[in-house]
Amino acid sequence: MQKFQTLKGQKEQRRVTSSPSTRIIRRRSRFRPLSVQMGPVPLCITSVVLMGMMAVLYLSQLGQAFAANQHLQDLRSQQSVLARQNQDLQDILAQEQSPGFIEAQAVKLGLIPADPQQRWIVPVHNLQPLPGK
C-alpha cells in the first residue's frame, strides 16, 4: 500500500513539474496509432487480400442492384398489364350499365316494357319529405 502511495505521489509531482510542451508530447504519444512494421512480401499479400475482398464486395453490391432492377422491371410490366385489364373492365361495366344493353337483356329474358296506363301506385302513409327539398 505504501508503494502505491509513493507512486501516486511521484505522479502528482511529475504533473506539477512537467511543462506544457512535455504534456503535449506525452498526449500525442498516448494517442499514436499502432504502427505495424511489415516487409514488402507481407505488405503485398495483405494488399492483394484487401483488394480481393473489395472486389467481392463490389460484385455483391452489383448483383443486388441488378436483381433489384429486374424486380422493378417485372413490377412495371405487371402494372401495365393490370392497368390494361382495369381499362377493359371499366369499358365492359360502362357498356353493361347503358340503358340500351339493359333493355336488350330484359327482352332476352322475356320481360316486356310496362304500360304506363296499367301501372299501380302504392301510397305510403306518414311519409316525411326529405329535408332541403
Residue whose entry in the numeric block shows the C-alpha cell 433489384: 68
CB 46 within 8 A of CB 38: yes
**Predicted model pTM:** 0.47
pLDDT score, position 37: 74
Q: Please count the CA atoms within 13 angstroms of the CA of 51 that sit on its side-chain side.
A: 6
Angle between helices 40-96 and 99-108 (to 10 degrees): 70
The domain limits of the chain are: 1-32, 47-110
Note the pLDDT tens digit of each residue in 17-32: 556 566 666 665 555 5
Q: What is the CA radius of gyration of the chain?
A: 45
Note the pLDDT tens digit of each residue in 47-68: 999 999 999 999 999 999 999 9
Q: Name, in order, each residue with C-beta under 8 angstroms of 112's C-beta and a sequence gap of 6 or more.
A: none
